[in-house]
Amino acid sequence: MQSTPILIILAGGASSRIWPLREKSLLRFGTEPLLFVQLRRYQALGFHEIVVVANPENHAEIASLVSQIPQLTVRVVVQTQAKGMGDALLQAAPALPSRAGVPVYVTQVHDIVDEQLHIDMLHAWQRDPSASYIAGFEREDYFPGGYLIVSPSGRLTGMIEKPGAANKPSNLVNIVAHIHADAARLMDAIRAEYVAGDQTDDHYERAMDKLMKEKVFRVVPYHGQWSALKYPWQVLDVMNYYLNKIQGQHVAESAFVAKTATLVGDVYIGEQAKVFPGAAVVGPAYIGAHTIVGNNALVRNSMVLNHCNVGFTTEVARSYVADHCDMHACRVLDSVFAPNVNFSAGCTTANLRIDHGNVPSKIKGQKVDTGRGKLGAIIGQGAFLAVDVMTMPGVKIGEKAQVGPGTHVHQDILDGQRVYVKQEHIVIEPTEAEQSS
Amino acid sequence: MQSTPILIILAGGASSRIWPLREKSLLRFGTEPLLFVQLRRYQALGFHEIVVVANPENHAEIASLVSQIPQLTVRVVVQTQAKGMGDALLQAAPALPSRAGVPVYVTQVHDIVDEQLHIDMLHAWQRDPSASYIAGFEREDYFPGGYLIVSPSGRLTGMIEKPGAANKPSNLVNIVAHIHADAARLMDAIRAEYVAGDQTDDHYERAMDKLMKEKVFRVVPYHGQWSALKYPWQVLDVMNYYLNKIQGQHVAESAFVAKTATLVGDVYIGEQAKVFPGAAVVGPAYIGAHTIVGNNALVRNSMVLNHCNVGFTTEVARSYVADHCDMHACRVLDSVFAPNVNFSAGCTTANLRIDHGNVPSKIKGQKVDTGRGKLGAIIGQGAFLAVDVMTMPGVKIGEKAQVGPGTHVHQDILDGQRVYVKQEHIVIEPTEAEQSS
Amino acid sequence: MQSTPILIILAGGASSRIWPLREKSLLRFGTEPLLFVQLRRYQALGFHEIVVVANPENHAEIASLVSQIPQLTVRVVVQTQAKGMGDALLQAAPALPSRAGVPVYVTQVHDIVDEQLHIDMLHAWQRDPSASYIAGFEREDYFPGGYLIVSPSGRLTGMIEKPGAANKPSNLVNIVAHIHADAARLMDAIRAEYVAGDQTDDHYERAMDKLMKEKVFRVVPYHGQWSALKYPWQVLDVMNYYLNKIQGQHVAESAFVAKTATLVGDVYIGEQAKVFPGAAVVGPAYIGAHTIVGNNALVRNSMVLNHCNVGFTTEVARSYVADHCDMHACRVLDSVFAPNVNFSAGCTTANLRIDHGNVPSKIKGQKVDTGRGKLGAIIGQGAFLAVDVMTMPGVKIGEKAQVGPGTHVHQDILDGQRVYVKQEHIVIEPTEAEQSS
């Protein structure tokens, strides 16, 4: 067995941008949480020592999770405040051997990439463990990330954040898949940045930039899939990544598929799930355990996790629906539902702007271009939408919010808010002739 | 053949509490009106002399009805004013033999109980015809009805109305299934109560209470089903009672069931009924004669009587729909429709409170707890609901009412009322550039 | 081969009354435009010289169209201003031989009649080419058109416009299928009317009326189908005319019909069309090339032309839908859609007045009785209707109009207008207790 660096998985940090969802590392895209899926993959790749940096909110659950993977040494440390990636790595330092020359592989739980990236990184490092390695995502068009500056000899000499399309130093964007030849040296460089004062929170990137001047850093180019989970609508990208892994039709033995139901393409139907008469599941699609796809309902290009009801004539298309959601005679399009959402009869997530432009969404009060031509709603845990609610493209609805019948939701609704619409009615009394008829 | 008492069926009384429905005794839960079904059962049990007490509104129809049952002597008398059950019985008195010692069995048409209750009552009386007998419904939890007071020796010594949960004298609630050993004596006791003055309208109960001090009354305990039809939503209980009697799948020869339609469980499909492609009828369910279940529609746990259209993608769930109703691309949930209701495309009967509490409904201006966690709408004869109307849980809509498109119905609508909603619109004119494009 | 008159097809004139549709002669009721279908039929009947009178708007397209029919001499002339039928015929005059005694057959592209009418006209003329012939539509009830006055000897002596039901001179209504024995003479008579001054625009009828006093005109009676395309809802009549010509089930080899889809009756399914699982096409119905009938959708008694999406659970009933329309989880009832209409999820075209009366529609500001008990909406090219829009019976929506979500459309919307509805919301903030839970 080849040796591997110690793996550091960053799974903490603030998650306000993922609102109204929670804890990216615990989201499930199948039967197991994302972190669990990632850990198992790293295990298969030969990693055996892992440090997970959690935050105070997800620490307990992550600790319980990692204990479920045998034959893997995982230490969970906590970053108590969201003070940047550099600070997160500093929390991991005490969990590492204190000697010099300990290699570490830094990754983030919410970067979803092909296995090939990790294989290529490891191979590069195994060929020359004295250097450090940075994954470089090759893309032609401009992307507002960190660009890698590469010397003619192929050595990495620096990084520049969001240089603008006109000033790209290369076609290589930094993905957080970094092998550092010497963890102690890395930590020292990061500490120096924090001491230097708190301008912006890219201490880690600045520390690396400086290290690159002294030590050999090389790029490992990558041109596979890359889905980063920063904004809640990106759950759909990650979902698609995992949906595309479904091959053929897997129907649990305990599941029921009615004779007049239709399964098309690559489809996973979980334990005790039921697909009722006239319903269709069109792949790639994932139906979780105990979930019911009701009469004449349609689920396509979607994940509906466990214990959900996709009621009569409901359509779920290109959407992610977490556990215990109830949907009835409604349309869930290009949307993300946290657990326990009630989406009543007649509800629709409008998903297309009249001007056919990209759908924007507000993040911390700022309009952000989601980059998506179609986007429905993002709905937090336990929200209740009464009958005939319409949500406009890109709106977000907070946890336990209540939206009254017939409401048009044009703006985000905060956690726990109740929004109602009151109609003015015209009442005409019957004439005497009508009354006696 | 064993002898039987003369049967008195109370089928009159005011029916304001059943609004917007009418005449409980004439409601159909299958092919025949409730009174007819009851009469046939009494005939099968051996009763051959019957007096039905009607009211001025239902008298003619009841008279016509009873004439259709051969080999049964039924006299119909009319109670002209709703002055209580005692008065109703007094109207029956002239139809009884005038001699002493004539036994009578007093029941109400709108108490739906198992046959076993009547069998037990008759057996008890046949063993000792000198005593009188009162059915006692055994239930552990408190019920706001008349409780029976029983002596240690098993003799019935009195009755008390709504004693409160803390003061229950027994677990036995009075059901109106009473055998009186001597009709003449009963009538005298009732007359005495009316002479004594008109305090409340429970003259019959007070008369019985006094008779119990002098004569032997015994309890016949009962622990089967009991559905009383007092409020309109109780139609659903009675419906369930009769739905549960359907055994297996009965499809009339003249009915049409498409190849891709689905029948599940215990289902009755009447003459000339049509179940179109992709539709499903999920039992227990009753589809009446000439009724169409349209393409991709769903009827489950419901009765849809004759000549109805359950249009494309309509869902009828746990609902009672009388003759000649038109439904189209709508959702009828936990609801009761009188005949000739038009329920247009996009309409929904919301059936669940956001707080998941019991649904209340107003009876004569007073909020009444219906005891139901799910309840849709009760809609009177000939009401027209235009497209996209939403009815909130428990609302009632009067006969011939008209509800305009897109209306949210939060309150009861009276007979003949027309309710509309007027939207304010923002109109933006095209620019000149747009006009010329 | 029998000789035939020169055929003049009137395909110009103003089309403001057909708004929000365009160019009647170019509407398609199947694979080819109406004018093309008519031309081919005239070709089959033996006509070989044809003059089409176009208007400036449709001239280019008509010219291109006629060039596609080989072995047929068609000249296209343009009527530059809509100055009546007489003026239109004068535009055709230069295209005719200038000698006397040239017979012409005058018809309109938008009069849809059975072939038999033309056969009867030709036979009558072939028997006696010296006379002129006017088609007389036999109908018992009154129709507000031009009535024919016939002498006892059978000779046509005059015409009277809209005489009123009490003053009908016969049961014969003028259809524009006229054979004139001498075109030159006809043109002279028309010119004389224009010279005489411009009272009303029925110069052609007045000219004929005068010619009848001098020359022999005869009636050719007709009692087949006649659909005139003057108002946009009449598209539905013409559609029905052509739908009824579909015999049996024609499914293109390149089309896909799912195993659980249903085809009923006379149905045409075009090239590359797809009928998805659980969908039904109920004849007479026409599904154009590349059109998708989505899962559990229903198309009945309708034409849906090419490249349309009839989305999940959409119903299209008794409607005409032109190319490239998108419909999704909506109800298109008794409606006419021009190309490129977007009809979003939850939209409904209400088609029935609460009073069950005929549906009116406004033409140039005047209420017109459409004569239809059921009529939905007429929607112009490129209009976008957002989710949950309701259109009231008989409304018209202009080209490129935009209708915001949840709008109730009670009145016509003009070309390019944007109509929105703004709801007032009541927002209740969560209590502190709720926030901390």
Tens-digit pLDDT profile for residues B237-267: 999 999 999 999 999 999 999 999 999 999 9
Chain B: residues touching C (Cβ < 8 Å): 258, 260, 276-278, 295-296, 312-313, 328-329, 344-346, 384, 386-388, 402, 404-406, 421, 423-430, 434-435, 437
Using the predicted structure, report yes or no on whether residue A1 has a pLDDT greater than 60.
no
Minimum CA–CA partner of C329 in chain A: A331
Using the predicted structure, report yes or no on whether residue B153 has a pLDDT greater than 60.
yes
Using the predicted structure, report yes or no on whether residue B99 has a pLDDT greater than 80.
yes
pLDDT of chain C, 437 residues: tens digit per residue: 468 999 999 998 767 889 999 999 999 999 999 999 999 999 999 998 999 999 999 999 999 998 888 788 899 999 998 888 999 999 999 999 888 889 999 999 999 999 999 999 999 999 999 999 999 999 888 888 889 999 888 899 998 888 888 899 999 999 999 999 999 999 999 999 888 876 677 889 999 999 999 999 999 999 999 998 999 999 999 999 999 999 999 999 999 999 999 999 999 999 999 999 999 999 999 999 999 999 999 999 999 999 999 999 999 999 999 999 999 999 999 999 999 999 999 999 999 888 888 999 999 889 999 999 999 999 999 999 999 999 999 999 999 999 999 999 999 999 999 999 988 899 998 887 776 65
Using the predicted structure, report yes or no on whether residue B4 has a pLDDT greater than 70.
yes
* C298 → closest Cβ in B312, B344, B425: B312
Task: For chain B, give every domain's residue range.
Answer: 6-230, 235-419
Contacts of A222 (CB under 8 A, 6+ apart): A113, A114, A116, A117, A120, A135, A136, A137, A138, A175, A177
Using the predicted structure, report yes or no on whether residue B1 has a pLDDT greater than 60.
no
Judge contact between B185 and B214, C-beta under 8 A: no
Residue A371 CA to residue A363 CA, distance in Å, equals 14
pLDDT at B73: 87
Question: Which whole number is the average pLDDT over A345-349?
Answer: 96
* CA dihedral (B78, B81, B87, B90) positive or negative: negative
Judge contact between B149 and B169, C-beta under 8 A: yes
How many A×B Cβ pairs under 8 Å?
Answer: 92
Minimum CA–CA partner of A311 in chain B: B315
* B278 → closest Cβ in C296, C350, C421: C296
pLDDT at A319: 98
pLDDT at C437: 56
* A298 → closest Cβ in C312, C344, C386: C312
Chain C: residues touching B (Cβ < 8 Å): 260, 262, 264, 278, 280, 282, 296, 298, 313, 315, 331, 333, 346, 348, 350, 352, 354, 388, 390, 392, 400, 406-408, 415-422
Residue B91 corresponds to which tokens in the numbers above? 């109207």
Judge contact between B217 and B134, C-beta under 8 A: yes
Q: What DSSP string describes A116-134?
A: HHHHHHHHHHHH-TTSEEE
**Domain C246-419 carries which CATH code?**
2.160.10.10
Chain A: residues touching B (Cβ < 8 Å): 258, 260, 276-278, 295-296, 312-313, 328-329, 344-346, 384, 386-388, 402, 404-406, 421, 423-430, 434-435, 437
Residue B338 CA to residue B19 CA, distance in Å, equals 10
Q: Which CATH number fits domain C6-230: 3.90.550.10, 3.10.690.10, 1.10.3720.10, 3.40.190.10?
A: 3.90.550.10
Confidence of residue B70 (pLDDT cuts 50, 70, 90): confident
Shortest distance between the Cα of A282 and any Cα of chain C, in A, equals 10
Q: Which of B276, B292, B295, B419 to mutate to test the interface with C (most CBs of C within 10 A)?
A: B295
* CA dihedral (B85, B113, B352, A426) positive or negative: negative
pLDDT at B98: 84
Residue A220 CA to residue A240 CA, distance in Å, equals 25
pLDDT digits (tens, 9 = 90+) for B9-19: 999 876 788 99
pLDDT at C355: 83
pLDDT at A198: 64
Using the predicted structure, report yes or no on whether residue B307 has a pLDDT greater than 70.
yes
Residue A150 CA to residue A132 CA, distance in Å, equals 14
Going by DSSP bridges, is the β-strand pair B366-372/B359-363 parallel, antiparallel, or unpaired?
antiparallel
Residue C185 corresponds to which tokens in the numbers above? 């003479």
Question: Which whole number is the average pLDDT over B109-126?
Answer: 95
Using the predicted structure, report yes or no on whether residue B437 has a pLDDT greater than 60.
no
Between C436 and A422, whose confidence is greater? A422
Shortest distance between the Cα of A264 and any Cα of chain C, in A, equals 10
Q: Which of C259, C348, C354, C388 to mutate to test the interface with A (most CBs of A within 10 A)?
A: C388
ipTM: 0.89
* CA dihedral (A81, A82, A83, A89) positive or negative: positive
pLDDT digits (tens, 9 = 90+) for C208-242: 999 999 999 999 999 999 998 999 999 999 999 99
pLDDT at B388: 95
Confidence of residue A437 (pLDDT cuts 50, 70, 90): low
Give the rounded percent of residues in chain A with a pLDDT score beyond 70.
Answer: 98
C424 CB neighbours in chain A (<8 A) are: 421-422
Residue C395 corresponds to which tokens in the numbers above? 């409304």
C328 CB neighbours in chain A (<8 A) are: 331
Is residue B152 classed as helix, strand or coil in its secondary structure? coil
What kind of architecture, by CATH, is found in domain A235-419?
Answer: 3 Solenoid (2.160)
pLDDT digits (tens, 9 = 90+) for B355-367: 888 999 999 889 9
pLDDT at A13: 72
Give the rounded percent of residues in chain B with a pLDDT score beyond 90.
Answer: 78
pLDDT at A413: 97
Using the predicted structure, report yes or no on whether residue A202 has a pLDDT greater than 90.
no
pLDDT digits (tens, 9 = 90+) for B267-302: 999 999 999 999 999 999 999 999 999 999 999 999
pLDDT at B139: 87
Q: Which of B257, B259, B313 to mutate to test the interface with C (most CBs of C within 10 A)?
A: B313
